[in-house]
Amino acid sequence: MSGAQAKQSASGQKVKTAITPTRGEDFPQWYQAIIKAADMAENSPVRGSMIIKPYGFALWENIQRALDDMIKAEGVQNAYFPLLIPLSFISREAEHVDGFAKECAVVTHHRLEAGPDGKLIPAPSAELEEPFVIRPTSETIIGDAMSRWVQSYRDLPLLLNQWCNVMRWEMRTRLFLRTSEFLWQEGHNAFETAEDAHEDAMKMLRVYNELYENVLAMPGIMGEKTADERFPGAVRTFTIEAMMQDGKALQACTSHDLGQNFAKSCNIQFQGRDGQQHHAYTTSWGLSTRSIGGLIMTHGDDDGMIMPPKIAPHQVTIIPIVRDDAGAAMVIERCKEISDGLRRAGFRVHFDNSDARTPDKMWGSIKRGVPVRVEIGQREAEEGTLTFIRRDLGKDSKKTVKVEEFFGTLQSVLDTMQADMLARARKFTNDNITDVKTLGDIRSFYEGGGLGFVRAPSSIINEAGLAELKKDLSLTTRCLPFADEGKTVLIGKSY
């Protein structure tokens, strides 16, 4: 069920951790183990598709709610477009089809029947005249709708978003980070001018950055992708690159300035202010369940997940500490009162009144990363106090306070924890970006076991040896950070 494993630390001391292996021992295995320990997701019998379990899905719902509000505040409207895309649509944009044709699920039949051996097979008589792909992304099908909806400059800007599932047939999958089916939002906006589209792509990236920093407590580096890393069909692709605790990069979201590429291939034309027909300029921007993988690899520790308070499915766990039946009723009653009171005050509370053992309840709360754990025993119940522990600081943060005091300070405890989590992750990121000058510097940095990103002069992109170096060391170009105005490039290993 649970309990910490006894571990040998580097210094030879016994250290207890709830997750085996630890981050330091085997980061990829730790990642799988923490998802299991926190009960967030699991692999399904459908190769490459995951099951998002209730605790993981509650997290996604909180991310959705936060981002959806921010998207709507920008004047974007939600809508819903078909799951299936005709092959003729996906073929419309040349780079786009190259990018997605190699890994997509193809629907070819619309009926099953019993085959010769009695097993079900696709009915030969029900083969589709034109097959469909399950959307890997929806530029073409939404572009087609836009071609009908946009007639005049008065119809612009047209700002649309959908929350949906998409599918890309991945051969090597990993929970949340890379799955054949994943959940995301994809925004698709259309504008009158190239400048409007460019500004929109930048603006939506800033919206994502606000979500990452202020809600997920994940600092990211905003920048532009180099040509070889652009979205298929985009003129410019903007990205947020986040550094995971193993020093690798996660592309946390992207926002694309599509110029007139999709407007031309989908025929999105409008009568302009000059009375002439013009092609629109479009953008697209997406953030997916991959963000949860990033959240785990940014904040998890060797005892389990640590949830940023703003999106934690439970902000507080309340655990009754019951030693004998005599005092039990009072302790349970007190826990219930406090849970109800906190819920009325707007907090997300988990009162763990299950029949699990007390240590299992405590470790359950730790592994799931609930920000604040409250323990109430008979003594606390009698004295009108409670004991609480901040998940990220552990037992050193343990405090016993009057219940009224806890009610008065909980919000600020959560706010402080949220800020501390961001600050720690930011420090880790900043500490692990190393400035380099030459290809040789990069090689010696990573061959010497260097961790994190390197930041090089952007002129290095054009050097002949870069491709070979990247191949040798499994490096990729992450982005040209906005902060350095194109003068530098970030390079690193990545997910």
Specify the stretch interacting with a second copy by CB under 8 A; choose among 4-12, 55-63, 246-254, 415-423.
Answer: 55-63
Q: Please, what is the minimum distance in Å from the beta carbon of residue 39 to a second copy?
A: 10
At residue 105, φ and ψ (nearest 5 deg) are -90, 125
Cβ closer to a second copy: 103 or 472?
103
Specify the stretch interacting with a second copy by CB under 8 A; choose among 86-94, 230-238, 252-260, 342-350.
Answer: 86-94
Q: Please, what is the minimum distance in Å from the beta carbon of residue 365 to a second copy?
A: 17
Q: Which of 37, 59, 63, 169 binds a second copy (CB under 8 A)?
A: 169
Based on C-alpha coordinates, what's the Rg of the chain?
26
Cβ closer to a second copy: 41 or 280?
41
**DSSP assignments along 371-432, one per residue:** SEEEEE-HHHHHHTEEEEEETTTGGGG-EEEEHHHHHHHHHHHHHHHHHHHHHHHHHHHHHT
- For residue 449, the tally of other CB atoms under 10 A from its CB is 6
Please choose, from the candidates 266, 226, 24, the residue with its C-alpha nearest in 3D space to the C-alpha of residue 145.
266
Q: Please, what is the minimum distance in Å from the beta carbon of residue 139 to a second copy?
A: 14
Structure tokens at 402: 């009057």
Q: Which of 27, 81, 428, 495 binds a second copy (CB under 8 A)?
A: 81
Q: Please, what is the minimum distance in Å from the beta carbon of residue 266 to a second copy?
A: 11
Answer yes or no whether residue 78 interacts with a second copy by CB under 8 A.
yes
Q: Which of 52, 67, 252, 491 binds a second copy (CB under 8 A)?
A: 52
Cβ closer to a second copy: 109 or 399?
109
Answer yes or no whether residue 406 interacts with a second copy by CB under 8 A.
no
Q: Which of 4, 66, 84, 202 binds a second copy (CB under 8 A)?
A: 84
Contact of 439 with 463, CB cutoff 8 Å: yes
* Binding residues for a second copy, total number by CB under 8 A: 61
Tokens 């980070």 locate to 177
Contact of 278 with 387, CB cutoff 8 Å: no
Please choose, from the candidates 37, 294, 59, the residue with its C-alpha nearest in 3D space to the C-alpha of residue 174.
294
Q: Which of 183, 234, 244, 425 binds a second copy (CB under 8 A)?
A: 183
Answer yes or no whether residue 330 interacts with a second copy by CB under 8 A.
no
Answer yes or no whether residue 242 interacts with a second copy by CB under 8 A.
no
Q: Which of 38, 59, 145, 243 binds a second copy (CB under 8 A)?
A: 145
Q: Please, what is the minimum distance in Å from the beta carbon of residue 455 to a second copy?
A: 38
Helix axes 290-299, 54-73, angle to 10 degrees: 110
Contact of 318 with 350, CB cutoff 8 Å: yes
Answer yes or no whether residue 303 interacts with a second copy by CB under 8 A.
no
Q: Which of 5, 165, 416, 459 binds a second copy (CB under 8 A)?
A: 165
E strand residue ranges, 204-333: 221-224, 236-243, 249-257, 269-271, 277-279, 281-288, 316-320
- Looking at residue 438, what DSSP letter applies? S
Answer yes or no whether residue 141 interacts with a second copy by CB under 8 A.
yes
In the window 97-136, what residues touch a second copy (CB under 8 A)?
A: 97, 101-113, 119-122, 131-134
Answer yes or no whether residue 61 interacts with a second copy by CB under 8 A.
yes
Answer yes or no whether residue 66 interacts with a second copy by CB under 8 A.
no
Cβ closer to a second copy: 142 or 211?
142
Cis peptide before 21 (omega within 30 of 0): yes
Contact of 16 with 4, CB cutoff 8 Å: yes
Q: Which of 30, 57, 270, 347 binds a second copy (CB under 8 A)?
A: 57
- Looking at residue 4, what DSSP letter applies? P
Specify the stretch interacting with a second copy by CB under 8 A; choose among 164-172, 228-236, 270-278, 380-388.
Answer: 164-172
Helix axes 27-37, 290-299, angle to 10 degrees: 110
Q: Which of 20, 49, 269, 353 binds a second copy (CB under 8 A)?
A: 49
Answer yes or no whether residue 164 interacts with a second copy by CB under 8 A.
yes
Cβ closer to a second copy: 86 or 341?
86
Burial 109-148 (b: 16+ CB within 10 A, else e): eeeeeeeeeeeeeeeeeeeeeeebbbbbbbbbbbbbbbbe
The SS3 assignment for 68 reads helix
Answer yes or no whether residue 152 interacts with a second copy by CB under 8 A.
no
In the window 334-393, what residues touch a second copy (CB under 8 A)?
A: 355
Contact of 291 with 213, CB cutoff 8 Å: no
Answer yes or no whether residue 154 interacts with a second copy by CB under 8 A.
yes
- Looking at residue 235, what DSSP letter applies? S
Q: Please, what is the minimum distance in Å from the beta carbon of residue 382 to a second copy?
A: 31
Helix axes 325-344, 403-431, angle to 10 degrees: 70
Binding site for a second copy (CB under 8 A): 44-46, 49-54, 57-58, 60-61, 77-87, 89-91, 97, 101-113, 119-122, 131-134, 141, 144-145, 154, 160, 164-165, 167, 169, 181, 183, 355
